[in-house]
Amino acid sequence: MDWKLGLVVIPVSDVDRAKAFYTEKVGFHVDHDRRVNDTLRVVQLTPPGSACSIALGKGITDARPGSVQGLELVVADIKAARAELVERGVEVSEIQNLRGFLFVFFSDPDGNRWAVQQVFARD
């Protein structure tokens, strides 16, 4: 049986600001934005090429905005990924070589922290 991660909830303080950051600056696609009622809104976003999405919203988690750390995106070309983030206005770290693995890091407006790692083709 395959077990595949499908959705990660990201706690944010301002849903519209977070949605704009993840779509306009990071390049995620909007899957849906549904306001169920005054206390429940769910925005699902997916990184290009990913099978896993993130959910932002109102009334979907009790976690403190900015409390998610260690989320990781993987790319084939870290230099191109960093350049794209910089061009879109994301404050992103320089490329870091951590024991042979290449990374850059950025945070969303609430402080949820992301890593982007260059991953070579897996056999």
pLDDT band for position 118 (cuts 50, 70, 90) = very high
pLDDT of residue 120: 76
User: Dihedral of CA 95/76/46/68: which sign?
Assistant: negative
d(CA 4, CA 16): 28
Rg (CA), the chain: 15
- Give the residue extent of every domain in the chain: 7-118
39-88 pLDDT, tens per residue? 999 999 999 999 999 999 999 999 999 999 999 999 999 999 999 999 99
CATH architecture entry for 7-118:
Roll (3.10)
CB 110 within 8 A of CB 12: yes
Residue 121 has pLDDT above 90, yes or no: no
Average pLDDT over residues 89-114: 97
Tokens of 77: 């070309």
Is the pLDDT assigned to residue 123 strictly greater than 60? no
